[in-house]
Amino acid sequence: MSDFTIAKVAVEKTVYHFDKAFDYLIPSELLASVKPGCRVVVPFGGANSKRQGMVLSLTSQESAGKLKFVSGLLDSVPLLSQEALRLVVWLKEHYFCTLYDAVKLLLPTGINFKIRTEYSLAAPMDAMDLEGFSELEKQMIRYLSHAGAGVDRDRLLKDMGLSTDSGVPEKLYKANVLLKSSGTVRQVGDAAQKMVRLTEEQEIHKLTPKQKSVYNILSDVGSASQKELCYFAGVTPVVVNALVSKGIAQYYDMEIYRNPYDHIQDCGPAENIVLSEEQQQAYTNVYRQYASGSGGVSLLYGVTGSGKTSVFTKLIDTVRADGRGVIVMVPEISLTPQTISLFHQRYGRDVAVFHSGLTLGERMDEWKRVRNGEALIAVGTRSAVFAPFENLGLIILDEEQEYTYKSESSPRYHARDVAKFRCAYHKALLMLSSATPSIESYYLAQNGRYSLNVLSTRYGNAVLPEVSVVDMNAEVESGNNTILSSVLHQALNENLENGRQSIILLNRRGYNTFVSCKACGHVITCPNCSISLTYHSANHRLMCHYCGYSMPLSKECPQCHEDKVRCTGYGTQRAEEQLRELLPDARILRLDTDSTMSRFAYEKKLRQFADGEYDIIIGTQMVAKGLDFENVTLVGVLSADQTLYSDDFRSYERAFDLLTQVVGRSGRGQFAGKAIIQTFTPENDIIKLAARQDYQEYYEGEIAIRKAMLYPPFSDICVVGFVGGTEAKVQGASKAFLNMLRALAQSDYPGQPMRVLNPSPALIGKVSNKYRYKLIIKCRNNTKFREMVSRLLIQFAGTREFSSVTVFADINPDSIL
């Protein structure tokens, strides 16, 4: 038997080119406690700085060699299961991230520890000889002397105006002038409630009447919170404290969960779901696939309003009755309120919620409720895919085509792919649901890789809306320069008179989308990004939607100094203003990221609209999908052309999806609906197909283009991005990487199919004063290809000439950089 137990640890704050599972010896006092899935503190690097890590596995060996010891244990029980630990390794292999970056995805942010380093003086300053120290070092010594206690490193450097990588504290520590101590601090603590229970002490004859009252309650119920005891016994906390001081009762903390939906009550028996014949057939098919225990993927494709939610809700009932976990994902936080409301009404407290609108503490507590088996259904956005179910039965990806399921920052994972991994592990079913499936998903369903169920008609008596396409060129020629065509203006008036509601889509936020000088033509752009500024009327400033830069609006041109700066283009703020002028009696609600910054703003505004407090919603794409209001009978699209002509092979797919989805918000109840699409290119086929809700014809045209151009699903795309402060360096780095790729592919991967396009500037060439280039590789995303890219990233990181340039790889991004 081997003598030494080794922990393989994923360590935080490493970089990709030297990241791996590092070996650490487990000291004898921790042998029984350290388990895979627990976090530990370890010494790292030449300076042995304290870092936290996650134990991925345990091994044993006969010799300790020069291995360092684990310094401490942070968790008494494992936080990650065996499935989660496998997923960590899978994420690193598929998305070129560090192991600990993958670990952080699986843990709620609030549960993370921070390694805190404090410095204090080793001796009183009066006893020190300060000769030979620099003025900066003397200032630090004086600062710590005045503080009189240990000071956190971050605060010390900030107060002294030093950079975070300053070596002054460490230099003074090595000179024995300072003492250094390290420890871990939890970012968000557990919420606890002060509870009271009886001890074994039974000397109650000396109790006052009030104390006896408390004693009797505790004898009956066993334990109660201090607040409850005081309420039911009619006493103050002083009485309870007296019982505790006499040893008859004792305090203890009981963990409670911070839940923003705490007002939700447990529901009675759920209403029976009545399905149409078409829905019932779809349900029977997906249930049969679930019950087979083989897992797999099923695509539920149904026109807008066809009742897809009813089909998967009935399946959720079945999976929940089996005691297995369910994850339901929606693409945007704006869709969560209606989804959460639906599930709370049916399942009560059995629902846990995961989205960025929750506080850190709330997110951590919802995660715990799932892990502890106190909730069987997790509802939320992309991060919900990591909900820690031990026995997962079903994952539903609603609006599966949406780009928000793909992370834009490292790790650049796609929730659909993570869901496939988890379903394969648990032999669970993954259901993809959409009225406009992604080209890739529909292709796989057509070819038998996914099962396919189709809902071709709306549920009940509802029918698809009547759609009109308005040529805005004719409107302009007739002298109409407002945002509303005469057709849409009249339809909105009729809807108001009939007491019906309307939704208006304009996928541009702000007031004006373009600001330029009429004298010299100069366009006002962001100094940090290669993008024009947008005027916002709410704060009378020009703002950059990429880096957040803003400046006051001035009519003086910074180029020619003429007072001829003018704003053009429409954003949601200006559209709202014009709507109020054109429809003075209408109650108008604007819904975009600017109007929903406060917590739970989405829920509040959508609830108000559902309750009839507003007649019209105008908003960006957040009003286009997933919303179901029975009284909405009119949808207007103000500028259908914006999404059609972007520099991306998915531009037509996005345009068709957006138009089809927003049109589908109309006429979902007992009233017939209509939709009006305003465009300057009415002859465009995508607009015509969206108006007809004809996905099949759109798909056949799009898949032919994809095949001819070798785009997904006929290939995978890997985008290698280069980011740096000097454009020449970034451009040079992209060319050097291409040369490395060419050499490595020819020498070690000659059979790997790929087509590589020459490096080029990104669509937005500069963001936040960082220049961006891209290299596009059409490839087959297999183990060999990912191995090659990983080797290239590691090799490139060792190139000193381009050390100032950051490089990353993104497999199948939703949009090309």
pLDDT at residue 271 tops 80 = no
- Residue 510 has a pLDDT of 63
Return the CATH architecture of domain 4-43+52-70+84-104: 3-Layer(aba) Sandwich (3.40)
| pTM tops 0.85, yes or no | no
CATH 3.40.50.300 for the 277-455 domain, yes or no = yes
Selected residue with higher pLDDT from 817 and 402: 402
Selected residue with higher pLDDT from 181 and 524: 524
| pLDDT over 90, % of the chain | 39
Condensed to tens digits (0 to 9), the pLDDT of residues 100-136 reads: 999 999 998 767 666 677 888 888 888 888 888 888 8
pLDDT at residue 575 tops 60 = yes
Query: In degrees rounded to 5, what are phi and psi of residue 754?
Result: -165, 155
Structure tokens at 219: 């004898």
Confidence at 258, pLDDT banded by 50, 70, 90: low
Mean pLDDT of 468-497: 90
Closest by CA to 591, choosing from 540, 626, 542, is 626
Consult the annotation and say whether 267 binds a ligand. Answer: no
pLDDT at residue 31 tops 80 = yes
Give the contacts of 24 (CB within 8 A, at least 6 positions apart). 6, 7, 9, 40, 42, 67, 68, 69, 70
pLDDT at residue 730 tops 90 = yes
Using CB atoms within 10 A of its CB, is residue 275 exposed (0-12), middle (13-18) or buried (19+)?
A: middle
Consult the annotation and say whether 529 binds a ligand. Answer: yes
CATH, range 716-811: 3.30.70.360
Q: Output DSSP code: residue 506.
A: -
Sorted by where each begins, the domain ranges of the chain are: 4-43+52-70+84-104, 115-186, 192-255, 277-455, 466-513+569-706, 716-811
CATH 1.10.10.10 for the 192-255 domain, yes or no = yes
Consult the annotation and say whether 97 binds a ligand. Answer: no
Structure tokens at 118: 């404090």
Consult the annotation and say whether 557 binds a ligand. Answer: yes
Query: Do the domains spanning 277-455 and 466-513+569-706 agree at the CATH topology level?
Result: yes
C-alpha of 675 from chain center: 32
**Cα dist. 304→112, 428, 434, 465, 667 in Å?**
41, 27, 8, 10, 10
Beta strands in 625-713 (DSSP E): 632-637, 674-679
3-class DSSP state of 292: coil
Consult the annotation and say whether 230 binds a ligand. Answer: no
Consult the annotation and say whether 423 binds a ligand. Answer: no
Closest by CA to 616, choosing from 450, 743, 503, is 503
Helix (H) or strand (E) holding 719: strand 716-724
Q: What is the mean pLDDT of the chain?
A: 85
Closest by CA to 23, choosing from 43, 34, 7, 11, is 7
Query: Residue 527, preceding bond cis, omega within 30 degrees?
Result: no
Consult the annotation and say whether 38 binds a ligand. Answer: no
- Residue 1 has a pLDDT of 45
Helix (H) or strand (E) holding 654: helix 651-663
- Residue 710 has a pLDDT of 93
- Residue 530 has a pLDDT of 84
- Residue 511 has a pLDDT of 61
Mean pLDDT of 577-593: 87
pLDDT at residue 19 tops 90 = yes
Confidence at 193, pLDDT banded by 50, 70, 90: low
| pLDDT over 70, % of the chain | 89
Closest by CA to 380, choosing from 358, 407, 360, 359, is 358
Mean pLDDT of 257-264: 56
Mean pLDDT of 604-628: 81
Mean pLDDT of 523-529: 86
- Residue 727 has a pLDDT of 93
Confidence at 785, pLDDT banded by 50, 70, 90: very high
Give the contacts of 50 (CB within 8 A, at least 6 positions apart). 41, 42, 43, 44, 71, 115, 117, 182
Q: What is the DSSP string of 391-452?
A: SEEEEEEETTT-GGGB-SSSS--BHHHHHHHHHHHHT-EEEEEESS--HHHHHHHHTTSSEE
Q: Which amino acid is at 171?
A: K
Given 3-state DSSP classes, what are the helix, strand and coil percentages for the chain, each rounded to the nearest 5?
Answer: 35, 25, 40
CATH, range 115-186: 1.10.10.10
Selected residue with higher pLDDT from 542 and 313: 313
Q: Which amino acid is at 750?
A: P
Mean pLDDT of 543-552: 81
Selecting from 3.40.109.10, 3.40.50.300, 3.40.50.1010, 2.60.120.260, what CATH number does the domain 466-513+569-706 have?
3.40.50.300
pLDDT at residue 187 tops 60 = no
Consult the annotation and say whether 517 binds a ligand. Answer: yes
